[in-house]
Structure formats: C-alpha cells, structure tokens
Amino acid sequence: MKRRTLLRAGLQVALAGVIVPGAAIAEYPTKAFLAREVPEALREVFGSADIGESDKIEIEAPHIAIDANMIPVRIRSGFINTESISLVVAGNESPFTAHFRLYESQNFVSTRIRMADTGELLVVVKADGVLYTNRRPIRVGRNSCMA
C-alpha cells in the first residue's frame, strides 16, 4: 500500500514539473521579440501601442555608450503596484529588448542591453493594469553592435 502511495506522489510531482513550466512558457511574448517595428511589438505584448507618458519612471543609462554591446540600464518605477517593466530600443532590428514580470513590491530592474546604433530607449511600465512610458536617447560610440 505504501509503495502505491509513493508511486502516486512521485507521478504527481513529475507531472507538475512538466505541466507548470509549459504554462509559464506559453506566456513568453515570443511574437513581440520577433516584431520588426515598435508599435507591432507593443501590440503583441500589451494589446495596444497607445501608452501615456510618465515622469515617475526613472531611467539610469549613459548618454553616450562606448560599448554598444553592453549598455548598463537601471529602471525604477515610481508606481506602487508595478506588474512589469519592458525595454524597447527603437533603432534595433528587433526593437523589443527585454520584458520583466515583477512580483509583490518590486519596482526596480537592472540589466545590460545591446544597441545597433544611436537611438532611443523606450521603457514601458505596467502598473495596476495601466501602461506608462518614458524615453531616454542614447548615443552609441565607436564600438557598434554586430546584430
């Protein structure tokens, strides 16, 4: 009897490990990362490309990036219930660069991005189901991205 219980529990754990990651992968915005235009990428992720501007989104990034392959970016959302932060680089071949889902009281993201050329970094924050954006121009120095 105990053997059957052990086998049943093992099977349930194995199935949970297969089914749950599959559900998480289904939410990955693959079409947005494949989009070639900014409005198309935003529509794939958020359902709309019309987003209001907000100065509550702080963007820390260099004005002039020496190495276009590793540009440090820090984003802080001034909204209490931040659900996600997305980064879009208008000059890249695939503009949708990163998408971070945040939980509980998180409102900060730090990462590095690649830029093909001088352009604008667009940050989209979703908080309480509402979309907000802020922009930051970044000039790329001599080392360019080989994308």
Domains of the chain: 2-143 (2.60.40.2470)
pTM exceeds 0.95 for this model: no
Q: What is the pLDDT of residues 80-116, one digit of tens each?
A: 889 999 999 988 899 999 999 988 778 899 999 999 8
96: tokens are 């949708």
> Which candidate, 63, 110, 50, places its Cα nearest to that of 85?
110
Q: What is the pLDDT of residue 147?
A: 47
Closest listed residue to residue 32, CA positions, set 74, 70, 84, 82:
84
Which residues pair with residue 11 across a beta bridge? none
Taking the CA atoms of residue 111, residue 112, residue 118 and residue 119 in that order, the dihedral angle to the nearest 10 degrees is -20
| Cα(145)–Cα(11) distance, integer angstroms | 47
Residue 53 has pLDDT above 50, yes or no: yes
Is it the case that residue 144 has pLDDT exceeding 60?
no
